Structure 1
């Protein structure tokens, strides 16, 4: 059995190995075309679809969410520290920018989001494990790429990409707030013995045009990130994975709303993209 220091050394050696990194990028690039068609027919078991599988191995929603979302920034940070050829105080401005955007997103997702949410549905063990594995791959490939690359911030694609990222992030946070307020209304009605209503039709902002504006925001956000990097392979894989996961889920969520509320649900609403899809 190898001593602890040797084990750590081997892990660092593998982490820095270009062949392992290239294999990870290829695997990541293959994921969207493999799982996207399935998600048009099968609901990933979390959120409103938490009980969609025939067996229930669910975990606490808030704790599972925090752990699976928290994996990515940890792996990204380790990748930067283990692979970057210079010290943290010598990172280039582009490296600082990408790292900062990554941390802002995932601190919100892993810590702020579950703290703000009045409640979160249980997350099935399969969804939890899948998310952890994808976030390991995601944090590793994007973190290593950022550690090995830098670029000028004075190019048009950086301005466009950053603008899209900020827009997508803002859309996501704002519409999450609307959903949280609906959950608070439900909780208040329960506490005051008001007539119970299990689900509500979200209204306001882009909810007046689409069923899942928070999904639209996330797709815009990571498309902007990929543009900002001038199309790095890991960032493109992340954007494709986000699209491939959330677009089918948005379509099925839209159908769920229509089925749940029947004629009450606005017929003009689309699934994710206003007036189009």
Structure 2
């Protein structure tokens, strides 16, 4: 796996180094949004918050794509960039319009928007200006496998989000036990779906920046799934004890 551009390589290694540090922080102090938001923090409506924090990861690579001049294996590059953008198209334009979650703290929106901007630049610039693909890229088993894994993860993510959304009526902020789909196996089915997505994306592109994103995702939302799992167990006496936090049958 190679990346010739110094800025892309540096950003990728920065993600890899920061990921375990962020994981340790998550273990000690859960991310303070959603059910863990401290009282008194300034927040914005959930739909606006999710849109503002996620949309940079859609717009930045889109602008890079529209401004790039494709040569050689341009189809492969475009397809991989669109794969990345597909996730954020869903998160920023569909999920944000349908969520019934709690208001999002403004500081969380700001930090998430910064991360999504950097991530969007890293992935878009790498794939459009640094990555190289052979003319027979589309015949590679690894590429096909990666796309399939990504689509499986996206399906799990969307289906799990729909289950969580349907647990509440409009205006409600109550918590209920999610049932159905991958929630029968893990408490963080939506997080599992996103982890599978980015692992598939990393397999398909097979590069340092995509692997860095997958690794950072595991370290950032894996602990979140465990925190939800623990919260469910404390909140509901009848919570299914056979469920794991994020990895079916294991963890």
TM-score for the superposition, normalised by structure 2: 0.90
- Structure 2 partner of 1:254: 229
1:206 Cα offset (Å): 1.2
1:34 Cα offset (Å): 1.9
Distance, in Å, in 2 between the alignment partners of 1:24 and 1:47 is 29
- Structure 2 partner of 1:268: 242
* Structure 1: gaps spanning 5 or more residues: 1-16, 191-196
- Structure 2 partner of 1:45: 32
* Structure 2: gaps spanning 5 or more residues: none
**Pair 1:116-2:105 in alignment:** no
**Pair 1:130-2:111 in alignment:** yes
Distance, in Å, in 2 between the alignment partners of 1:27 and 1:133 is 15
Distance, in Å, in 2 between the alignment partners of 1:155 and 1:198 is 47
**Pairing of 1:1-277 with structure 2 (within 5 A):** 18-51=5-38, 55-82=40-67, 84-86=68-70, 92-117=74-99, 119-148=100-129, 149-151=131-133, 152-184=137-169, 187=170, 198-230=174-206, 232-261=207-236, 263-277=237-251
- Runs of 4 or more consecutive aligned structure 1 residues displaced over 4 Å after TM superposition: none
* Equivalent residue pairs, number: 244
Larger Rg computed on CA atoms: 1
1:254 Cα offset (Å): 0.4
Distance, in Å, in 2 between the alignment partners of 1:245 and 1:23 is 20
Higher relative contact order (CA 8 A, sep 6+): 2
